[in-house]
Chain A
Amino acid sequence: MSTISTSGLDEITESLKKLSTDIQSELIDKMLDAGAEESITAWKDGITAHGHVDTGAMRDSVAVSRATKKGNIREIYPQGTDKGKKKDRRKKKGVRNAEKAFILHYGSTSFVGDRFVDDIDDVVQVKATEAMEKTYNEYLKEKGLI
């Protein structure tokens, strides 16, 4: 009976275990940032592709939320408001760009939402994962682990 054995994988696992917590968190930040960058691009492309561009404020506001710029999570969605762009009563304080995206996605009593974020999610799942894998591999190469 033939057997398969791997030694390289064990070495990588052991090497990763030896990485200090600081280096691990640095790597996680790099990977998440790479994924976030792809996600932002996908969001902007998706908003444009679905024709949800009027002033462009919502599209241009897509970014990582301030609270998640570091740590083990990145939240990406339209940020801020369109304050000052329009003069009607409701927009004195501005409408949150995230609210606009929500209504365009899910609709309201006046129209059926096109669920455009689902399409963005489909792209993000592929592109962000690829970017994170690439960053991880580059890191391992840089450290001579592969």
Chain B
Amino acid sequence: MTLKQFRDVLLTVTDKVYHFESSKEKEYIVWGEIGQKSLRADGNISETGIRIAVDIFTADEYSELPGKLTKALSENDEIFLRDCLTDFEKDTGYIHYAYTCEVV
């Protein structure tokens, strides 16, 4: 899966998708590559995956976006959803849903 294909998966959830840069929207997704993971076999790299951070920031207390994103990421065989954490940013009033995934 290429990064553009990954972005397109995110775009099935919302059109407010930003790469690395955050937005002033009330609800949006920001994502960015954070490294690589290599699978080795017999001392050689057989496959390399990309680690990606995906964050939803929303001012909506009961947003449907996290559920939609979780479904979109989980249903794709080329995306491994590593973890998801929810946090409330007191400073900004946004709820932050932080996903970490790996794509191959």
Contact = CB atoms under 8 A, between A and B. Distances in A.
Contacts of A108: 89, 92, 96
A108 B57 CA distance: 9
A70 B93 CA distance: 39
Contacts of A118: 51, 82, 100
Contacts of A107: 53, 55, 96, 98
Q: Interface SS of chain A: helix, strand, loop or mixed?
A: mixed
Which range holds the interface residue count of chain B? 20 to 34
Contacts of A84: none
B96 A106 contact: yes
Given A112-B20, A115-B100, A118-B100, A106 B85 contact: yes
B6 interface: no
Interface residues of A, number: 13
B60 to A, nearest CB: 15
Interface in A76-102: 102
A114 B96 contact: no
Q: Interface SS of chain B: helix, strand, loop or mixed?
A: strand
Contact of A119 (B31, B35, B55, B89): B35
Contact of B51 (A106, A111, A115): A115
B33 to A, nearest CB: 9
Interface of A: 102, 106-115, 118-119
Contacts of B64: none
A114 B89 contact: no
B89 A113 contact: no
Given A110-B22, A114-B53, A115-B34, 8 more contacts: A109-B22, A109-B94, A112-B20, A112-B34, A112-B55, A113-B55, A115-B53, A115-B100
Contact of B98 (A106, A110, A111, A119): A106
